[in-house]
Structure 1
């Protein structure tokens, strides 16, 4: 017997010795399979990104690679855990070759594509966590092969399709989270068969239908989250059988019904109860006060009514209390008494009681809330009285909102203690007094809203200390004074600034140009003046610029269209802008509202961009606009003849000149033409000066775009001439601005005004008005305003270029022009009360209108002679300057030393 046992042991030993090499080889082959699978998986995961998963290389064993865990016995991959990395790839099919895998966690690694069907080959898989990626497609049915699976987390992806019914086959499944995807359809009642479920989250999908009654069979369920779907119907009573529930979130649906009176018996372990944003009605269940484990209570945005019980102080673990958006309260004096009980909840960090009907005063007891309190929202109620001084004891506050109530009095200085406050809202109350200087102590402020009150005084300079500010509104108060300099330049993070509907004066501070991130700027309905500063061109993120209802003047800046390309709303209405509408505004592709009404704008209205839609622009109250799209029903614009038209006329004139080439015919033509034109001479209509037209320096400044060099059409010894457009005059004008620093300029101005004061003739340049004033610098200013002559001077036509030179004027035109000048001189010498001697007849002083009729201008050297030509020199009144003409055109009498 002993020999037999010895033989058996020897035999077994030989078998082990013989088989061991084969087992070692098999083990090595299996490990090599996992290595190759991981390398193939890496190729898909990183999508060619060279710096991703640097440890996954041949320099070390794959079991030491980042995120890889192997079993000790067989050195096979049992866990793959990567999260919070930018891999930007797909989950390749090779994952199915990791057959020993129990845990697969690839959370927040920017995966895209579909979940591969090969995942069904992972028979040992227990945990699948692919949360926070960009996976799409349907949940693969092959997951049913993973019979050992306990956890499926696919939250925050782009998965679509219906919730599979085959989850009921996964009898070990304890956690199923499919939230924040694009799943649709109904919640399958078969989920009620997965009795092992402890966590079921289907929130933030597109599910509809009712909550299935079968869920009451999930006796182990601790978390049920169906938030933010399209579920409807009554809350099933069966849910109240889930006695182990700790988190119940069914908010953000269309559920109705009421809450049972025995909530503490139905859910004795409840930590979070969230049913907000439904249609649930009834009163506040007093039994909620007995849920001593409750940490979060959210019943907001329903239709609850009545009062709040004073027993909430029993909830000593409560951290979040949200009853906003209901109909609690009656406007009575004791509506807020329940707040005193909440002071016992020492862990309370957030209180929302906004948008109800709570009345009464804000009690001093509010200062007894826990210093853990970080958020207090009480807006949209009927709370009156004053803001209690003890509000400053809530030193943990980061967000305080008590706007849209009936609070009075001043803002207490105690708010200076709220060092951590980031958002402060007192808007739409009846607060009075000044904005407290201590506001500058709140250096963490990012949002401050004091609009819609009765605050007065100026903006405190201490506001400059609030360098974290992003949204600031003082609109609709009684604030006055200048918008302070050296304040807003420090608030360079501002996104929204509202100062509308106050009494601010002065200009827009140039430091507004430092607001590089400003998106919305509201300055309307104030008493601001000056021009829009060019510094605003730096605010390239502006989407809304509202400046209406002020006293701004000047031109509409070109940078509004060239630099502020993000503008969506532009309101310059009810100001004193006097300029053309810049065509650059057509470039604003996002502009959907443009209001330029009630200014002094003139000229052509653009037709592109926002101007192509009559419903998006307002131009009312600008009487001198023309053109635009037909729906505006504006008059057509005056336009000078085009070059093409001029060339056509040129050809005709050449033909006429050839025909009139014979000398005899030419002389006869002169004689006949002279006689006929002499009989047709008619005086022009009375000048507008005689019609009492008055203009100011400011109006001429605006008419010429600030006497811009682009408007300059000529310059002489005594000044410069600018083209422009004057309000209440339908045609263009020219403004002759005297350079009063030049000797004799003032006398020239007087001479020209006297000479032209009462002259009316079709061949004299028509004077619209004269202006003797001071400019914006307080310096003397003198100018004469004439009608614009579209075809310029005779000198320019004769000599400036080949195109507009000798080949341009026909013989007929040349004779007409000479006769027009002769008629003008005849009128000046013989048909006026005082004879006028021009003293400077030359081509540059002969101007041509759009019909090529000549008009004599520039009477700055003219002399008036009582009684006409030929009277004694004693009757002559000298109005000329020392320079008696222009070289080449000096009157011959001066050359002979005699009187003109």
Structure 2
């Protein structure tokens, strides 16, 4: 608490004199004002959220501050959620004795939680979640009116305090580093409705005393170190429980058969990744409000309850990796009942012991015809039926699943008992407008590839190898702007490869080997600038190898073997610096082999079966090419026809080629295609990014520039915190900036460069072009925000917060990054926009250079 002398001194330091009578009168209570100013001194404010905190405005009108109606000079609420504040929480906040609400969540506060907050006996809500706070949770026993305590997603350590206030209703401690066991004293807080301690290192089991928590609705304890040999019995007494999760622990035992009767209000039920065994209780269907059931990765046996279809609100059912059985038609009745679950979006039952006739139901022993009950599950977004033994024709109703977004794998359903053809590929697939991946590998589909698949404007992966397809490859496929992968190998396809393939700017993998495709390889294939892997082997291609292939700078694998190609090997292929494998064997090539680039590595290329080849690297042991004959005087009569005319023709051709090259160079510069980041990068769609950033909410906006906006979000199954850079394509120059950044980051790897996790080039919900980069999240923000705060107000503490040692380290990190960019073996990269706001800091204050939208490139010259 501030003494009267301290108050006086602080007022003097604030410059109190007769011209500030309204603000600096000794007749009022200024303890709260001074406490707020002390709090401001300890932090930096890069977003200028606290600009109103000055002596020209009454402190009760400051940003985020509310005062009492009865006591106008006493603060009752301080709400600074998501203001971008950085620094430590000042103990002076403990002087705000009338405070009821303190919200500092979603900032970058570090250090420990001040113990002085434990003196706020009027405090009702305390939210400090989503910061980087450390240390132990201080005693809050004197906060006798505290109802909500939110400390989620920090770096807190130590045990859960045993003296939690008894009026508490919500206790959220997940995503920290807490240890110890669950205190039995929590059972005395009979008002508790939410207890979330997931993602910590808590041991032991759920105390038996928890049976007294009659108001508990949500109990989340997943991702800890809980253990025990029986199902937690106290849970069965919590009849109002809505959400229950103990996933990813070491619990075991049978789940009581009457659990659904004891917990009738249950909506979320997660037991996955434990050691529970026995049968899945059929009484679960009495909990009619259930929306999510996940019992995967346990040891459940027996059959799936046939009454599961009574759960009409169910949207996710995960039964993966157990020992569930089906041996007859009765055991499969649960599939028929699932047709009543019209809200179901996710259903997986992989790695079990299912047999007989019958979404992810891959890798079982299913046979018979495709289950028609799936047609009723209109909300499914992921269906998996691979690695089974289905027979018969794939029904047209499959196209009614219009919400399928990510994948529809039906691979390897060739029956072993009744090897029937599975008929044509249904044209109704074209109705699945959200489809991104179609995988029909290892089946017996015949007929032609439906032209209507060209309507799937979200399609990225088309995999139909190892079937009996015939006819030509529809040119409509090459007009899908999002297509990344086309794999049609090992079919009976014929016809020619259409010139429209040059429209597939995003195409990365093209595998059409082992077919009967003939004609020349289209020169327009060279327009597919993102290609990494081309397999056209074991076909019937003829003519010359297009020199345009040498312009695909991202190409890593080129296989043209076992065709009828003639002529020479384009020397342009020697310029492909990323090319790792070149197979031209068993054609009719007749020329001198180049000696540079890939041709200098005889272990990376194959040329067998071309008896007309000569020269090349000495290790090839090929005959030397014959010397060209010298000019003879007897040929002077035909010199015009043999020399001058060809020379004139070549000069004319050179002029034409120059014009074409210039034109193509302009076209390349106009290209906005996404350079590939390789198959090892995770796939994300526009919908993934939309959901992960809460609809690109302004609350998740962490940066904005001329060409893009950056959002923080959570992606992938483990909800990784990432930064999503969304490009403003309506701004002139943005597309060029996007391509420049992709090209700069696709092949660079350095610990002091911002790591790109993946990229997205798609369309948004309105059909507009959408491009984004997903990178690792930097919790410390950018260097500019740390260096430059509101120093014009006399606040220099933020400026001095970065120590001299840290500053030197940051300089060294940036220098290391620039040295790598300027001298890496792929050629020099010049950043062109290096400034503090483009230097990002991780939680360990390691600097990372980012934002390559203005980068320029210079090919390595070996000098």
Corresponding residue of 2:383? 376
1:28 to 2:40 alignment: no
1:223 deviates by 0.9
Corresponding residue of 2:197? 202
Corresponding residue of 1:222? 217
Corresponding residue of 2:245? 249
Give a deviation string over 1:661-710, Cα, whole Å, max 9, x none. xxxxxxxxxxxxxxxxxxxxxxxxxxxxxxxxx973x435xx3xxxxxxx
| Structure 1 gaps, min length 5 | 1-20, 587-593, 601-620, 623-693, 704-723, 749-776, 778-900
Report the Cα distance in structure 2 between the residues aligned to 1:91 and 1:383, rounded to whole angstroms: 62
Corresponding residue of 2:69? 72
Corresponding residue of 1:415? 429
Larger relative contact order, structure 1 or 2 (CA cutoff 8 Å, min sep 6) = 2
Question: Is the contact made by 2:111 and 2:135 (CA closer than 8 Å) also made in structure 1?
Answer: no
1:401 to 2:408 alignment: yes
Give a deviation string over 1:223-266, Cα, whole Å, max 9, x none. 11122334344333333232221111122333332322212222
Question: Is the contact made by 1:256 and 1:279 (CA closer than 8 Å) also made in structure 2?
Answer: yes
Report the Cα distance in structure 2 between the residues aligned to 1:498 and 1:110, rounded to whole angstroms: 48
Decide which moves more: 260-269 or 116-125: 116-125
Change (3 A) 1:37 1:192: same
1:466 to 2:480 alignment: yes
Report the Cα distance in structure 2 between the residues aligned to 1:295 and 1:274, rounded to whole angstroms: 11
1:380 deviates by 4.3
1:343 to 2:339 alignment: yes
Question: Is the contact made by 2:380 and 2:404 (CA closer than 8 Å) also made in structure 1?
Answer: yes
Among 122, 140, 147, the alignment partner of 1:150 is: 147
Corresponding residue of 1:103? 101
**Number of residue-to-residue matches in the alignment:** 590
1:349 deviates by 3.1
1:139 to 2:158 alignment: no
1:599 to 2:606 alignment: yes
Report the Cα distance in structure 2 between the residues aligned to 1:69 and 1:241, rounded to whole angstroms: 42
Aligned to 1:162, what secondary structure does the other structure show?
coil
1:179 to 2:191 alignment: no
Among 669, 680, 699, the alignment partner of 2:614 is: 699
Q: How does 1:702-717 map to 2 (within 5 A)?
A: 703=616
Q: How does 1:42-57 map to 2 (within 5 A)?
A: 42=40, 44-45=42-43, 47=44, 49=46, 51-57=48-54
Question: Is the contact made by 1:314 and 1:345 (CA closer than 8 Å) also made in structure 2?
Answer: yes
Among 120, 125, 128, the alignment partner of 1:127 is: 125
Give a deviation string over 1:55-109, Cα, whole Å, max 9, x none. 4445543333333322222233322223445445544444334333222223333
Q: How does 1:469-548 map to 2 (within 5 A)?
A: 469-470=483-484, 472-475=486-489, 477-479=491-493, 482-487=496-501, 489-492=503-506, 494=507, 521=533, 523=535, 526-527=538-539, 540=554, 545=557, 547=559
1:522 deviates by 5.7
Corresponding residue of 1:736? 627
Aligned CA RMSD, in angstroms, stands at 4.3
Question: Is the contact made by 1:352 and 1:378 (CA closer than 8 Å) also made in structure 2?
Answer: no
Corresponding residue of 1:81? 79
1:437 deviates by 1.3
Aligned to 1:486, what secondary structure does the other structure show?
helix
Q: How does 1:305-316 map to 2 (within 5 A)?
A: 305-316=301-312
Change (3 A) 1:454 1:581: farther
Report the Cα distance in structure 2 between the residues aligned to 1:727 and 1:293, rounded to whole angstroms: 72
Change (3 A) 1:740 1:355: farther
Question: Is the contact made by 1:355 and 1:378 (CA closer than 8 Å) also made in structure 2?
Answer: no
TM-score relative to the length of structure 2: 0.59
Aligned to 2:499, what secondary structure does the other structure show?
coil
Report the Cα distance in structure 2 between the residues aligned to 1:27 and 1:476, rounded to whole angstroms: 90
Question: Is the contact made by 2:86 and 2:108 (CA closer than 8 Å) also made in structure 1?
Answer: yes
Change (3 A) 1:546 1:397: same
Q: How does 1:346-357 map to 2 (within 5 A)?
A: 346-356=342-352, 357=354
Report the Cα distance in structure 1 between the residues aligned to 2:392 and 2:219, rounded to whole angstroms: 43
| Structure 2 gaps, min length 5 | 1-20, 356-365, 415-421, 640-649, 651-863
Change (3 A) 1:242 1:490: same
Corresponding residue of 2:271? 275
Q: How does 1:722-733 map to 2 (within 5 A)?
A: 725=618, 727-728=620-621
Q: How does 1:810-821 map to 2 (within 5 A)?
A: none
Report the Cα distance in structure 2 between the residues aligned to 1:259 and 1:433, rounded to whole angstroms: 50
Question: Is the contact made by 1:353 and 1:378 (CA closer than 8 Å) also made in structure 2?
Answer: no
Change (3 A) 1:169 1:695: closer
1:280 deviates by 2.5
TM-score relative to the length of structure 1: 0.57
